Chain A
Amino acid sequence: GQQVMQIPQYQHVQEGEDFTTYCNSSTTLSNIQWYKQRPGGHPVFLIQLVKSGEVKKQKRLTFQFGEAKKNSSLHITATQTTDVGTYFCAGYIQDTGRRALTFGSGTRLQVQP
């Protein structure tokens, strides 16, 4: 079936180190969204990318959408303890008429002070 995979599943970094999570789809996505879920919380929308090759930045966070619209990445520069949480990518599978996001499996980030 159609899936959206994320790697790594888990990453532990020292505060100040960079972090990247990758999202890969077996089929073309209409768009890609990223969400963050803090421990004990609920997913919160971060950003949406729509165009092929699009790059967006939010302070220390950089989001990219691949040229083929099948993959995406989230890069955090100089992590802080406030970055702790699970990061999910989610996309609408193109040409299926499916009216719901397909979520990736998530990457759990732990930041050591």
Chain B
Amino acid sequence: ETGVTQTPRHLVMGMTNKKSLKCEQHLGHNAMYWYKQSAKKPLELMFVYSLEERVENNSVPSRFSPECPNSSHLFLHLHTLQPEDSALYLCASSQTTPGLATYEQYFGPGTRLTVT
């Protein structure tokens, strides 16, 4: 059903670990997004990449570092996370235009992250 895949699906990491989340879209879209979903804040936009350029960074702590090497792949590098960073991390993609993007977003299944 979904053209957006995410790995791993589940991740448990200690506060001193370094890990990366991977997202891949097979839809030919030119914009990709990272969202954080937790019980307290249902859908928080973290980063937006349009045409491989980061166009939005919503005051996310530097312990989260995104990377978009091409229009099909998106990474979220994690280091020295805190327990409150435990959440579902969702990747999404969409088609965008040079002006305001108006197309629907396709979400991946998410990575359930637990920080111990």
Residues of A within 8 A of B (CB): 30-31, 33, 41-45, 48, 50, 86, 88, 90, 92, 94, 97-103, 105-106
B96 at the interface (CB under 8 A from A): yes
A90 to B45, CA, bound (A): 12
B-side contacts of A41, CB under 8 Å: 109
Interface size class of B (residues with CB under 8 A): 20 to 34
Most interface-central of B31, B50, B104 (chain A CB within 10 A) = B104
Of the candidates A31, A44, A97, the one whose C-beta lies within 8 Å of that of B102 is A31
- Say if the beta carbon of B43 comes within 8 Å of chain A: yes
- With a 10 A CB-CB cut-off, give which of A45, A90, A99 has the most chain B CB atoms: A99
A-B contact pairs, 16 of them (CB 8 A): A31-B102, A41-B109, A42-B109, A42-B110, A44-B107, A48-B102, A92-B100, A92-B101, A97-B100, A99-B50, A99-B96, A100-B48, A100-B56, A105-B42, A106-B42, A106-B43
B55 at the interface (CB under 8 A from A): yes
- Least CB distance from B22 to A in Å reads 16
Nearest-neighbor residue (CB-CB) of B43 within chain A: A103
Contacts of A30 in B (CB 8 A): 100, 102
| A43, B90: Cβ atoms closer than 8 Å | yes
Answer whether residue B106 sits at the interface, using C-beta atoms and an 8 A cutoff. Answer: yes
Residues of B within 8 A of A97 (CB): 100
Shortest Cβ distance from residue A33 to the other chain B in the assembled complex, whole angstroms: 6
- B101 close to A45 (CB less than 8 A): no
Q: Which of B42, B56, B106 has the most CB of A within 10 A?
A: B42
Q: How many angstroms from the CA of A13 to the CA of B100 in the assembled complex?
A: 38
B105→A101 contact, CB < 8 A: yes
How near does chain A come to B109, taking the closest CB pair, in angstroms? 5
- Asked if A45 and B43 make an inter-chain contact with CB atoms under 8 angstroms apart, the answer reads no
Q: List B contacts of A86 (CB < 8 A).
A: 42
Would you call B96 and A103 a contact (CB within 8 A)? no
Q: Give which listed residue, B2, B101, B104, contacts A100 with CB less than 8 A.
A: B101
